[in-house]
Chain A
Amino acid sequence: MVRFENVGMRYGLGSEVLRNISFELKPGSFHFLTGPSGAGKSSLMKLLYLAHRPSRGIITMFGQDLTMVSRDELPALRRRIGVVFQDFRLLDHLSAIDNVMLPLRIAGGDPKIIREHAEELLSWVGLADRLEARPPTLSGGEKQRLAIARAVIGKPDLLLADEPTGNVDPEMANRLLHLFVELNKLGTTTLVATHDMGLVSRVGAPQLRLFQGELVHLDRASAVGAGQPDAGY
C-alpha cells in the first residue's frame, strides 16, 4: 500500500526535518505514528497525503512510484486517501453537512445519496443536531469529529489521522478510535499520529516512532514502548 525508502524531506531551503525514513504499510494494516512534538509526524503525514514532495528517497503508493506520477494524476490518488488534519482545515463558509459531503461532491457523486450518507455519518459522530452549523460555531471537539467524518466519507483505501483525538474527552476518543478500527476491519489501511500513549496501548497496534526527524523503531509486535528507548515520553 505504502512504501518509503530512505526518504528525506525539507521545507523550502531549510535543513531536512525528516531523514532516512524507511517503512512499509501493508494493505489493511493499522499503525500509530508517535513521537514528541516537533519530531516530524505532521510532516510525514504531508508526504503521505501528497501535499509535499520528498527531497530524496522513493515513495511508492498504491503500487506507483510517486516520482513517476504527474500532477494530473494526483487528484485520482488523493481521492483514495482520507485525511484528518491536525488543524482540521474545515471550510468555514460551508455548513457541517456540506463540509462532510465535500470529498464526494468533488469526486462528482449523486448529491442526494451523498447527503444521506453524510447525515448518517454525522449522527454517528454525535453531530446529528449540528448539520447546518458552520465550523466557527463548533467546539474544538465537534470540529474534530466533523473533520473525521469528512475524512472517512469516501471510504478511503488509506486513512491518515493527525492527532484525531486531541480535543475530545476520553470517552469520545474511544468512540472515534473505534470508528477507525471498524473502518480498518473493512480494509482501510490506517495511520494515526498521536501523543496519547493510552490510546496506543488500548488498541495495541504497531507504532512508527519518530524522534528528531528519524524513525526510531518499527515495532511490529505492538508492545508499546516495551523495553524500547522511549525518547520524549
Chain B
Amino acid sequence: MTRRVPFLSDRADRVSGRLLPWVIAVMVFLSGIALASALGVHDAVANWASDLGRRLTVQVVAADPADRDAQAAAAEALLASTPGVETVNRLDLGAITALLEPWLGKGNVGDDLPLPVLIDVTLAPDRLINTAALARQLREVAPDAALDTNEQWLSRLHAVAGMVEGTAVTVVGLVTLATVAIVIFGTHAGLAAHRETIETLHIIGARDNLIAGEFQVRFLKLGLKGGLIGLVAAGVTLVLGRSFLRSLGGGILDKVTLEPGDLVVLLVLPLAAGVIAMFTARLTVLRALARMV
C-alpha cells in the first residue's frame, strides 16, 4: 500500500479542470503557428540568401552591337580570370528573348530592339569577393557594364523575415503572459473550492509545500494535456498550410518548410505550457497560503 494519497479531490473544482486544457490548447496553437511561420520564413530566407549571395549578374547596355559584343567579351574575360568566380555564362539571345516574351509578347522581340548582354556569374562557395573592386575593374575594361549583386533583394528579404520573427516573438510573449494569468485565475478558483479541506489539512499538520505540491501536479497535468491538444491542432494546420503553399508553386512561398530542428522547438511547446502552469500554480498557492492562519 504505497499508492499516493490525493490530499485534494479533483472533483471539487471541475470547471478549471475542464476549461483550462482548452484555453492552454489555444495558447499553444497560437504560439505554434507563430513560431512555425517565423522558423519557416527564416529557413527559406537563409536558403535564398545563400543562393543569391553566390550569384552576380553583369549587364552590358551599349547601343552599338559591335561595341556591345566587344565590351561583353572583355567583361567575360575579366570575370573568368577573377579568383573566386566559378562559372561565367553569357546568356544567348534566345534565352534573353525568352525572358522578355512574357512582357512584350511572342514575336514582338525584334532584331532591332537593342537588347543588353546578360552575363550570369556563379561564385565559388565560401569565397568572399570584393564586389566593389570587381565593379571598378569591370568599368575599366567595359565602360557600359553594370554589376548587379542582388543586395537590394536580399536586404528586403531579410527585412520581411525580421518582421515575421519579431511578430512571432511578440505573440509567444503575450501568449505566455495570458497563460500565466489564466493559470492564476484557475489556481485561485481551486483554492476557493478546496478552502475547507486545505484548512483541515493545515490543522492536521500539513505544510504549505504539501498543498502546493497537490496543485502543482494537477496544473502540470492540465498544462500538458492542453499543450498536446494545441500541438496536434497546430501540426494539422501547418501540414495543410504547407501543401497550400506548395500548390501556389514557383516562388519564395513554396520554399517555406520546417527543418527537423524547428520541429523540436514545436515539440517543446506543450512541455513549456505544463511547466509554466506548474510553477505559476505553485507560486500562487504559496502566496495565498501565506495569508492563511
- Residues of A in contact with B (beta carbons under 8 Å apart): 49-53, 71, 74-76, 78-79, 83, 85, 89, 91-94, 98, 101-103, 105-107, 111-112, 115, 150
Residues of A contacting B8 in the complex (Cβ-Cβ under 8 angstroms): 93
B242 CB-CB contact with A under 8 Å: no
Seed contacts A94-B5, A115-B1; 11 additional CB < 8 Å A-B pairs: A51-B202, A51-B203, A89-B196, A92-B9, A93-B12, A101-B5, A102-B201, A106-B201, A106-B205, A106-B210, A107-B205
Minimum C-beta distance from A232 to chain B (A): 28
Q: Once the chains are docked, how many angstroms separate the CA of A105 from the CA of B1?
A: 12
| Complex: chain A residue closest to B206, CB-CB | A106
Residues of A contacting B210 in the complex (Cβ-Cβ under 8 angstroms): 106
Residues of A contacting B6 in the complex (Cβ-Cβ under 8 angstroms): 93-94
Residues of A contacting B206 in the complex (Cβ-Cβ under 8 angstroms): 75, 106
A50 touches B1 (CB 8 A): no
Q: Once the chains are docked, how many angstroms separate the CA of A51 from the CA of B204?
A: 10
- Residues of B in contact with A (beta carbons under 8 Å apart): 1-2, 5-9, 11-12, 196-197, 199-207, 210, 290, 293
Q: Once the chains are docked, how many angstroms separate the CA of A187 from the CA of B2?
A: 31
The 8 Å CB contact of B1, one of A71, A83, A106, A112, is A112
| Complex: chain A residue closest to B292, CB-CB | A71
Q: Once the chains are docked, how many angstroms separate the CA of A53 from the CA of B12?
A: 28
The 8 Å CB contact of B5, one of A71, A74, A76, A105, is A105
Closest 3 CB pairs of A and B: A93-B9, A79-B205, A78-B205
A93 touches B11 (CB 8 A): yes
A53 touches B5 (CB 8 A): no
A91 touches B197 (CB 8 A): yes
A49 touches B1 (CB 8 A): no
Residues of A contacting B290 in the complex (Cβ-Cβ under 8 angstroms): 71
A75 touches B205 (CB 8 A): yes
A98 touches B293 (CB 8 A): no
Contacts A93-B11, A101-B5 given; does A75 touch B293 at CB 8 Å: no
The 8 Å CB contact of B203, one of A50, A105, A111, is A50
A78 touches B9 (CB 8 A): no
Specify the main secondary structure of chain A where it touches its partner: helix
| Complex: chain B residue closest to A108, CB-CB | B210
18 A–B contacts from the bound complex (CB under 8 Å): A50-B293, A53-B293, A75-B205, A83-B204, A85-B200, A89-B196, A89-B200, A91-B7, A91-B200, A93-B6, A93-B8, A93-B12, A94-B6, A102-B5, A102-B7, A103-B204, A107-B205, A112-B2
Residues of A contacting B199 in the complex (Cβ-Cβ under 8 angstroms): 51
Residues of A contacting B12 in the complex (Cβ-Cβ under 8 angstroms): 93
Residues of A contacting B9 in the complex (Cβ-Cβ under 8 angstroms): 91-93
| Complex: chain B residue closest to A49, CB-CB | B203
Q: Once the chains are docked, how many angstroms separate the CA of A71 from the CA of B292?
A: 9
B202 touches A78 (CB 8 A): yes
A103 touches B205 (CB 8 A): yes
| Complex: chain B residue closest to A92, CB-CB | B9
Q: Once the chains are docked, how many angstroms separate the CA of A91 from the CA of B207?
A: 17
Minimum C-beta distance from B80 to chain A (A): 82
Minimum C-beta distance from A143 to chain B (A): 14
B5 touches A98 (CB 8 A): yes
Q: Once the chains are docked, how many angstroms separate the CA of A150 from the CA of B200?
A: 12
Minimum C-beta distance from B292 to chain A (A): 9
Q: Once the chains are docked, how many angstroms separate the CA of A50 from the CA of B290?
A: 15
Minimum C-beta distance from B97 to chain A (A): 83
Residues of B contacting A101 in the complex (Cβ-Cβ under 8 angstroms): 5
| Complex: chain B residue closest to A110, CB-CB | B2
Minimum C-beta distance from A43 to chain B (A): 14
Q: Once the chains are docked, how many angstroms separate the CA of A24 from the CA of B199?
A: 27
Minimum C-beta distance from A159 to chain B (A): 13
Contacts A94-B5, A111-B1 given; does A102 touch B204 at CB 8 Å: yes
B293 touches A52 (CB 8 A): yes
Residues of B contacting A50 in the complex (Cβ-Cβ under 8 angstroms): 203, 293
B2 touches A111 (CB 8 A): yes
Listed residue (B2, B5, B11, B12) with the most chain A CB atoms within 10 angstroms of its CB: B5
Listed residue (A89, A92, A101, A150) with the most chain B CB atoms within 10 angstroms of its CB: A89
Q: Once the chains are docked, how many angstroms separate the CA of A179 from the CA of B153?
A: 90
Contacts A91-B197, A94-B5 given; does A106 touch B204 at CB 8 Å: yes
| Complex: chain A residue closest to B210, CB-CB | A106
Listed residue (A50, A51, A91) with the most chain B CB atoms within 10 angstroms of its CB: A91
Q: Once the chains are docked, how many angstroms separate the CA of A74 from the CA of B12?
A: 27
B205 touches A51 (CB 8 A): no
